Structure 1
Amino acid sequence: MKTLDSRQDIEELVNSFYEKVVEDETIGFFFNDIVKVDWEKHLPKMYSFWETILFGQMSYKGNPMGAHFPINEIEALEKKHFERWLELWKQTIEENFTGKNAELALYKAQNIAQLMAFKMDLARKL
């Protein structure tokens, strides 16, 4: 098992993760049917997002929360969806990486999932 230390490692992690996501019965439909994700555009954004989060490279320019509100209006993004997202992320990390940055990637994802679930629920109630 290797450590998570480079942009190339992030690309491997993100690619492996989304391979699981698109096949997943709980959350895959968001990506495949609702958003119809353009993977050539989405994946580089995710590489930059995690590079910024983990390595402080500041390569990501965007608003992750803002990107999810329109999806939430079409189909509710519920706590169970974020829990499944996190479960797949954790599984992917544990299958491929070890060390401090792998632990940090999991910790950051837990915080992201919790905050996103809270904000999406709040937006539906307003």
Structure 2
Amino acid sequence: MATSTLPDLCTEGDIKTLVDTAFSKANEDELLAPLCSAVARVHWPRHLTSMYDYWSTALLGTTRYQEGQLVPLHSALPAQGPLFQRWVSLLKRTVDEKFAGSKAEEAKSKVATLASNSRAA
């Protein structure tokens, strides 16, 4: 049985890799890029810092994330439908490409929970 050579998602550096890779892909995606650049009009350094804080709190137990930090961009993203599903798929795919292990699975579970909660809203 082959073992994975991918690291688990356990450090601040891993969080940064996940977020930076996912947002790089979103900015290159034919459906998500217009939303990221034109609709959201995000100040990327601030938003990325909020994303690092969110995932650090969610996966590593830090307390840096403050509720509501992600609202400006995420309020522009439809809570369901093809764009939202594309983002969820992209984020899960990024986890699978970069990481393997219990924290990676936890990250994908959190993405699925966010997607489920958004559909129910």
Same topology, TM > 0.5: yes
Q: 1:41 to 1:64 in 2, by over 3 A?
A: closer
Query: 1:29 Cα shift?
Result: 1.6
Provide the residue aligned with 1:78 in structure 2: 80
2:9 corresponds to 1:4: yes
- The whole-number CA distance in structure 2 between the counterparts of 1:61 and 1:36 is 21
Unaligned runs of 5+ in 2: 1-5
Rate the CA distance shift 1:65–1:79 in 2: closer, same or farther, 3 A.
Answer: farther
- The amino acid across from 1:116 in the alignment is S
TM-score, normalised with respect to structure 1: 0.82
The structure-2 alpha-carbon separation of the partners of 1:83 and 1:118, relative to structure 1 and needing over 3 Å to count, comes to same
Q: What is the aligned partner in structure 1 of residue 3 from structure 2? A: none
- Spell out structure 1 runs of 4+ moving beyond 4 A: none
Residues 24-66 of structure 1 show CA distances to partners (whole Å, capped at 9, x for unaligned) of: 1222221111112211111110000001111221110131674
Figure out how many residues of one structure are paired with residues of the other and give that number: 115
Q: What is the RMSD computed on CA atoms of the aligned residues?
A: 1.8
User: Runs of 5+ in structure 1 lacking a partner?
Assistant: 120-126
Q: Which residue of 2 aligns with 1:124?
A: none
**Which of 26, 30, 34 is the matching residue for 1:21?**
26
The alignment status of 1:53 with 2:39, answered yes or no, reads no
Identity score, percent: 30
Equivalent AA in structure 2 for residue 93 of structure 1 = V
Report the equivalent of 2:118: 116
More helix per residue: 1 or 2? 1
